């Protein structure tokens, strides 16, 4: 399977291919049981790929294209790009969609693929309608790592799109960012660490956003925008001036992707640590060592308490942090043997009902920002814990004597 994806990516890495990449949400796959039919692709991209439907002369103009799936064996389908323009004909709709992906037989519409990374490679020539799309839905974390090693982490809800040769070269700049930030001058010569960016970002958070759930989403957004601006400052000039050799290009692409990966891994933990402290949850340790040299992301109240057999187990808690959890949630099951209920913080936009039941059997409890709860199947929502609830419940576990005893 590994070599299959590698060769597929090499094959697609041309200027005649337009690549669209996202993580499938529960709405995309149908796991929420909503009315959306198929994967959400923004209207502007549909318009770019199918210019002939961009008019209001007729009601709902459309074109068809052949959709082939390379990652899974399933029949090709005739997908349809359509401009639902009834607003210009006395009704309300005004959106462009691609539909008819083949229903449940296609991996794009399999609820079990909620959270998976999906790549859609459209044949594309400027000004002409695309007539063919080739689909790859990643099977597992290993395949996702192949993609993210050149693109950096693809966070749930974000989109990566553009000419495939630019995207897969690892130099695609993500969505454009407003430049209301005045970046420190020294960042031109030295690429700041994640911690430095977050410290700088703190001055730009909106004071009107209250509560840890909303604050986390807002702060990640601000910090990511700043990161992209710094990246642009460092990379754009080099890209525009061209490369003397392929090796020079590859070296730059590698340094960009390594930076994106290391930022992505640490960013969420740094934001959570900051929010815990701000909201009065100070009894925790990060990267504390448990059995077999394991290191849970957050251990409550401390490593010292964890290793003290006299400390009551029901007062120990751990929180693992994963931006996406589809295949990765099992990695956290053995990080702390004394702890029965494992809390997992994620930004994934939904899980399938079947996967959630597996998590429950393993006593994994999902902590998810409240604004993402409605992206989960209805039957799952009541079990989700908001960040605010997690903070309040965990604070309540530790009364003053615990703090005095175990936290320095």
State pLDDT tens for residues 229-263. 888 888 776 766 777 777 777 777 777 777 877 77
Q: Which of 18, 306, 398, 406 is catalytic?
A: 306
Q: What are the extents of the domains in the chain?
A: 2-167, 185-278, 285-406
CATH 3.40.50.1100 matches 285-406: no
Confidence class for position 400, pLDDT limits 50, 70, 90: low
Omega of the bond prior to 2 within 30 degrees of 0, cis?
no
| Winning range, highest mean pLDDT, from 16-30, 236-250, 353-367, 392-406 | 353-367
Sign of dihedral through CA atoms 9, 10, 12, 13?
positive
With bands split at pLDDT 50, 70 and 90, how would you rate the model's confidence at 132?
A: very high
Instruction: Of 270, 252, 274, give the one whose Cα is nearest residue 262.
Output: 270
> Tens of pLDDT along 78-91?
999 999 999 999 99
- What's residue 337's pLDDT? 94
| Average pLDDT value for residue range 325-330 | 90
pLDDT of residue 407: 54
**What integer pLDDT is reported at residue 35 of this predicted model?**
59
Tokens in use for 48?
Answer: 């770019």
Q: Tell me which residue of 290, 274, 188 sits closest to 231, measured CA to CA.
A: 188
The contacts of residue 52 (CB under 8 Å, 6+ apart) are: 61, 63, 129
CA pair distance 210, 218, nearest whole angstrom = 10
Nearest residue to 75 (alpha-carbon basis) of 102, 52, 93, 39: 102
What mean pLDDT comes out for the span 44-58?
A: 94
Average pLDDT over residues 372-391: 96
Could you give the C-alpha distances from 218 to 78, 210, 211, in angstroms and in order? 40, 10, 11
> Which of 210, 27, 180 is closest to 108 using CA atoms?
27
161 classed as catalytic = no
The arithmetic mean of pLDDT across residues 4-21, rounded, is 89
Average pLDDT for residues 17-36, to the nearest whole number? 86
CATH code for 2-167? 2.40.330.10
Element (H, E) at 196: helix 194-201
Where does the pLDDT of residue 179 fall: very low under 50, low under 70, confident under 90, or very high at 90 and above? low
Of 3.30.450.20, 3.60.10.10, 3.60.15.10, 3.40.91.80, which CATH number belongs to 185-278? 3.40.91.80
Contact 152, 88 (CB under 8 A): no
CB 135 within 8 A of CB 19: no
Q: What pLDDT score was predicted for residue 401?
A: 47
Q: How much is the mean pLDDT over the chain?
A: 88
Q: Is the pLDDT of residue 219 over 90?
A: yes
348 by Cβ neighbours in 10 Å (0-12 / 13-18 / 19+) ranks as buried
CA-nearest of 399, 398, 408 to 316 is 398
Prediction pTM value: 0.80
Domains 185-278 and 285-406 share a fold: yes
Per-residue model confidence (pLDDT) at position 335: 94
Q: What is the DSSP letter of 128?
A: S
Q: Which two tokens stand for residue 80?
A: 């349809």
pLDDT of 375 higher than 80: yes
């Amino acid at each position: 399977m590994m070599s299959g994806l590698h060769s597929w990516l090499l094959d697609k890495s041309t200027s005649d291919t337009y690549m669209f990449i996202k993580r499938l949400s529960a709405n995309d796959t149908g796991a929420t049981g909503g009315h959306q039919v198929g994967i959400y692709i923004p209207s502007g991209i549909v318009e770019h790929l199918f210019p002939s439907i961009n008019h209001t002369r007729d009601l709902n103009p459309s074109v068809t294209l052949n959709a082939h799936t390379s990652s899974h064996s399933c029949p090709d389908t005739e997908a349809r790009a359509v401009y639902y323009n009834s607003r210009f004909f006395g009704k309300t709709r005004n959106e462009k969609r691609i539909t008819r992906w083949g229903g449940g037989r296609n991996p794009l519409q399999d609820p079990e693929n909620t959270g998976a990374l999906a790549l859609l490679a459209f044949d594309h020539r400027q000004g002409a309608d695309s007539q063919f799309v080739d689909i790859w839905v990643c099977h597992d974390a290993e395949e996702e790592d192949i993609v993210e090693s050149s693109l950096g982490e693809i966070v749930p809800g974000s989109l990566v799109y553009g000419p495939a040769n630019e995207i897969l070269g690892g130099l695609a700049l993500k969505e454009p960012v407003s430049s209301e930030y005045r970046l420190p001058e020294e960042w031109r010569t030295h690429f700041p660490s994640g911690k430095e960016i977050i410290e700088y970002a703190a001055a730009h958070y909106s004071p009107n956003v209250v509560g840890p759930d909303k604050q986390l989403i807002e702060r990640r957004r601000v910090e990511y925008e700043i990161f992209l601006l710094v990246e642009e400052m460092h990379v754009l000039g080099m890209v525009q001036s061209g490369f003397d050799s392929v090796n020079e290009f590859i070296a730059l692409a590698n340094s960009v992707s390594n930076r994106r990966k290391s930022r992505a891994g640490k960013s969420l933990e740094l934001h959570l640590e900051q929010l815990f402290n701000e909201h009065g949850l100070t009894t925790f340790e990060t990267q504390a060592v448990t059995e077999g040299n394991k290191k849970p992301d957050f251990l409550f109240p401390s490593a010292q308490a964890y290793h003290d057999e006299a400390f009551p187990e029901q007062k120990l808690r751990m929180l693992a942090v994963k931006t996406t959890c589809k295949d990765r949630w099992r990695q956290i099951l053995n990080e702390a043997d004394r702890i029965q209920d494992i809390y997992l913080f994620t930004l994934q936009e939904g899980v399938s009902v079947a996967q959630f039941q597996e998590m429950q059997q393993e006593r994994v409890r999902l902590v998810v920002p409240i604004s993402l709860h409605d992206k989960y199947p209805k039957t799952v929502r009541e079990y989700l814990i908001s960040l605010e609830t997690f903070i309040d419940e965990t604070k309540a576990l530790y009364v003053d004597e615990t703090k005095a005893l175990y936290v320095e």
